[in-house]
Amino acid sequence: IAIIANMNLILHGIPDYRIYVGDSLLNPRFKDERADYVIANPPWNQDGYSEDNLGDPRVRPIYTSFVPNGFTPKSTADWAWVQLMLYYARKKVGIVLDQGALFRGGKEREIRRGFVEKDLIEAVILLPEKLFYNTGAPGIIMVLNRDKPEKRRGKILFINASQEFERHPEIKRLNRLGERHIGKIVNAYRRFEDIDGFARVVPLSEVREKDYNLNVTLYVFPKGEEEEIDLAKELEELQQMELRERETVERALGYVREILEVMRSG
Looking at the fold, whether 192 and 247 belong to one and the same domain comes out as: no
Looking at the fold, whether 201 and 238 belong to one and the same domain comes out as: no
* Confidence (pLDDT) at 17: 87
SS3 readout for the chain: CHHHHHHHHHHCCCCCCCCCCCCCCCCCCCCCCCEEEEEECCCCCCCCCCHHHHCCCCCHHHHCCCCCCCCCCCCCCHHHHHHHHHHCEEEEEEEEEEHHHHCCCCHHHHHHHHHHHCCCEEEEEECCCCCCCCCCCCEEEEEEECCCCHHHCCEEEEEECCCCCEECCCCCCCEECCHHHHHHHHHHHHHCCCECCCEEEEEHHHHHHCCCCCCHHHCCCCHHHCCCCCHHHHHHHHHHHHHHHHHHHHHHHHHHHHHHHHHHHC
Looking at the fold, whether 10 and 120 belong to one and the same domain comes out as: yes
Does the structure show a pLDDT above 60 at 228?
Answer: no
Looking at the fold, whether 156 and 251 belong to one and the same domain comes out as: no
- Which residue segment(s) compose the domain that 235 sits in? 229-266
CA atoms within 13 A on the CB side of 266: 6
Give the model's confidence band at 266: pLDDT under 50 very low, under 70 low, under 90 confident, else very high.
low
Give the model's confidence band at 215: pLDDT under 50 very low, under 70 low, under 90 confident, else very high.
very high
Task: Please state the domain count of the chain.
Answer: 2
* Confidence (pLDDT) at 226: 47
The domain that holds 30 is classified in CATH as 3.40.50.150
Looking at the fold, whether 12 and 144 belong to one and the same domain comes out as: yes
Question: What are the angstrom distances between the C-alpha of 11 and each of 6, 37, 100, 196, 230?
Answer: 9, 20, 31, 37, 53
Residue pair 162/222 in contact (Cβ under 8 Å)? The answer is: yes
Give the model's confidence band at 76: pLDDT under 50 very low, under 70 low, under 90 confident, else very high.
very high
Looking at the fold, whether 33 and 101 belong to one and the same domain comes out as: yes
Looking at the fold, whether 42 and 164 belong to one and the same domain comes out as: yes
Looking at the fold, whether 172 and 237 belong to one and the same domain comes out as: no
State whether the Cα torsion 252-258-260-266 is positive or negative.
negative
Looking at the fold, whether 130 and 202 belong to one and the same domain comes out as: yes
Looking at the fold, whether 59 and 160 belong to one and the same domain comes out as: yes
pTM above threshold 0.85: no
